[in-house]
């Protein structure tokens, strides 16, 4: 079943064009990719006792990674995998695919234990076919990793409640620690065992070493990293959080149900209602899953984040399991007859197959863009090695990530970010100020701080940041200084039109 889930996830990635080189569609993708490649290169360098020194040197070349701001699990796992499989976006995408498959397998596991094997297979397939689930498994992001470890922690907790032995307690704690080390938004998971014990009135477990060891294991896993990066704990977070209102909580719940297409949403809602009106169906597994779902949504409501479907993979998995269990309770009277049970199983399997085929037939291929082509041209020229290159202002992350993917001798090039070099602003782009007033000032800066190439994306004239406007004017006014060496236009769609300019000394400078 797990192998089938992995195959389904990889098929979704391949058919959607997620393996296309040079396409990072989401802002955080380059950060995670660059962080993973940096960890891979550090492991391969042998400089294991000097991680900070290695990171600082690496950042001078590729100033776009977030190890420290983000927890390290994804970067470490992806970096280790890249040691074996090589560096590339498709290799990095293998990690969210496997973790999405793992969550699908856990959905199968919960439904199979409560309903049947066929229902479990259908539930797992439906989860992996949901549009948003496929969307985020086709991005180099940590959300599927976090979702897998959160649901895995719940599964291990159910196992612990049935058999409260030391090994099961440690396994639950390890899953909790891994969830937090993938993304700090999973911090609520540490309270799950205690809340489950209290709600189920299993107070005798509070005295068992197998329960008491769990917070110790989590602290040993998370504590060193949390202490080492404590200065970054609030970096990038708004100074004022969102107001905690009932409307905000309702928005998160509504966004969770938006995961499901309309017909499936109706089926899920009816299944949940059926489960709610049958209290006898609530056993240890659904108490744990209910706490997981409520805890996840409550933490998001308290967090300074906007509703986004990638944050809601955990409650979606829980709702799908609960809906299947609810329908099982409704149809339990029919299932006593072998003939009706077989008919229902066949009908559910047919409907699931139709849903999966329909959803996969609607996959949209990711558009191609010229970023990878521009980077490939630069990297293929030996004369360009170790050059200082200014990347496009609106495509900093994708360009830096592509340089890392295509360059064999990392770190090599010195890549400069216009938003950091030519202007100043805070994390959210506020308090912006340009470092220059005129194109001549910017030209003089580049003469004193030479760069070899400027890769530029000509943008529409409507409102541009000051340093972007000045850069465009400088390149246009001084064609003898900035010589156009390559231009790649998009073939329609949203892809950018990119131009590469090379610095050429004027006759006066040569003298």
- Asked if residue 366 belongs to a domain, the reply is no
In Å, how far are 101, 192, 200, 207, 438 from 291, measured between CA atoms?
Answer: 23, 7, 11, 22, 59
> Half-sphere exposure (CA, 13 Å, Cβ side) for 341?
13
Same domain flag for 229 and 324? yes
State the Cα–Cα distance between residues 102 and 238, nearest whole angstrom.
33
Q: Which of 352, 429, 391 is nearest to 63 (CA)?
A: 391
Tell me how many domains the chain contains.
Answer: 2
Same domain flag for 61 and 165? yes
State the Cα–Cα distance between residues 180 and 187, nearest whole angstrom.
6
- Asked if residue 248 belongs to a domain, the reply is yes
Same domain flag for 321 and 376? no
Give the chain's count of helices (H) and strands (E). 23, 7
Same domain flag for 412 and 270? no
Residue range(s) defining the domain that contains residue 8: 2-361
Same domain flag for 410 and 382? yes
Dihedrals phi, psi of 225, to nearest 5 degrees: -70, -40
Same domain flag for 107 and 210? yes
Same domain flag for 355 and 388? no
Query: Alpha carbon 72 to chain centroid distance?
Result: 13
Q: 4-38, pLDDT tens digit by residue?
A: 788 777 777 777 767 665 567 777 888 999 999 99
Same domain flag for 393 and 347? no
Same domain flag for 500 and 462? yes
Same domain flag for 54 and 164? yes
State the Cα–Cα distance between residues 256 and 359, nearest whole angstrom.
18
Q: 203-234, pLDDT tens digit by residue?
A: 999 999 999 999 999 999 999 998 888 777 66
Same domain flag for 444 and 501? yes
> pLDDT digit of tens for each residue in the chain (511 aa)?
777 788 777 777 777 767 665 567 777 888 999 999 999 999 999 888 888 899 989 999 999 876 777 899 999 999 999 999 999 888 999 999 999 999 999 999 999 998 889 999 999 999 999 999 998 998 999 999 999 999 999 999 999 999 999 999 999 999 999 999 999 889 999 999 999 999 999 999 999 999 999 999 999 999 999 888 877 766 656 555 555 667 888 888 999 999 999 999 999 999 999 888 887 778 888 999 999 999 999 998 888 777 888 999 999 999 999 999 988 887 776 555 556 667 778 888 888 999 988 888 877 766 666 788 889 899 998 888 889 999 998 889 999 999 998 888 888 899 999 999 999 887 667 789 999 999 999 999 999 999 999 999 877 766 788 999 999 999 999 998 999 988 876 444 445 678 999 998 764 554 4
Same domain flag for 337 and 475? no
């Amino acid at each position: 079943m797990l192998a089938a889930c992995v195959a389904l996830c990889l098929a979704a990635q391949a058919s959607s064009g997620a393996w296309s080189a040079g396409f990072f569609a989401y802002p955080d993708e380059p950060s995670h990719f660059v962080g993973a490649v940096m960890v891979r290169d550090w492991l391969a360098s042998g400089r294991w006792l000097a991680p900070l020194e290695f990171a600082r040197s690496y950042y001078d070349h590729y100033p776009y990674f977030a190890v420290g701001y983000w927890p390290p699990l994804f970067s470490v796992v992806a970096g280790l995998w890249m040691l074996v499989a090589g560096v590339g976006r498709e290799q990095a995408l293998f990690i969210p695919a496997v973790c999405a498959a793992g969550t699908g397998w856990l959905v199968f596991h919960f439904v199979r234990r409560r309903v049947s094997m066929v229902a479990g297979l259908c539930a797992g397939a439906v989860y992996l076919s949901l549009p948003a689930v496929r969307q985020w498994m086709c991005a180099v992001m940590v959300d599927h990793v976090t979702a897998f470890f959160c649901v895995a922690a719940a599964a291990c907790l159910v196992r612990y409640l049935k058999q409260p032995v030391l090994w099961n307690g440690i396994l639950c704690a390890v899953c909790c620690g891994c969830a937090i080390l993938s993304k700090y938004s999973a911090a609520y998971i540490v309270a799950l065992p205690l809340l489950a014990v209290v709600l189920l009135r299993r107070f005798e477990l509070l005295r068992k070493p197998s329960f008491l060891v769990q917070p110790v294991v989590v602290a040993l896993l998370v504590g060193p990293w949390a202490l080492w990066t404590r200065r970054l704990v609030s970096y990038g977070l708004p100074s004022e959080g969102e107001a905690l209102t009932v409307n905000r909580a309702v928005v998160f719940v509504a966004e969770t149900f938006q995961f499901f297409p309309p017909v499936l949403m109706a089926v899920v809602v009816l299944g949940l209602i059926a489960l709610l009106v049958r209290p006898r169906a609530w056993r240890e597994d659904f108490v744990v899953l209910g706490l997981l779902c409520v805890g996840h949504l409550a933490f998001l409501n308290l967090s300074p984040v906007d509703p986004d479907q990638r944050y809601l993979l955990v409650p979606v998995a829980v709702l799908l399991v609960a809906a299947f269990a609810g329908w099982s309770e409704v149809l339990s009277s029919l299932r006593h007859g072998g003939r009706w049970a077989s008919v229902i199983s066949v009908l559910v399997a047919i409907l699931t197959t139709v849903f999966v085929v329909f959803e996969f037939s609607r996959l949209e291929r990711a558009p191609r863009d010229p970023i990878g082509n521009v980077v490939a041209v630069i990297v293929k020229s030996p004369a360009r090695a170790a050059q200082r290159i200014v990347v496009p202002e609106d495509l900093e992350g994708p360009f830096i990530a592509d340089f890392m993917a295509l360059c064999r001798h990392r770190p090599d090039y010195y890549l400069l970010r216009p938003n950091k070099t030519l202007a100043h602003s805070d994390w959210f782009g506020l308090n912006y100020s340009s470092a220059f007033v005129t194109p001549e000032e910017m030209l003089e800066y580049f003469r004193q701080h030479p760069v070899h190439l400027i890769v530029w994306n000509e943008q529409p004239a409507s409102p541009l940041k000051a340093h972007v406007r000045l850069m465009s004017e400088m390149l246009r006014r001084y064609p003898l200084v900035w010589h156009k060496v390559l231009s790649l236009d998009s073939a329609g769609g949203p892809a950018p039109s990119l131009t590469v300019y090379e610095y050429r000394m004027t006759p006066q400078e040569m003298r």
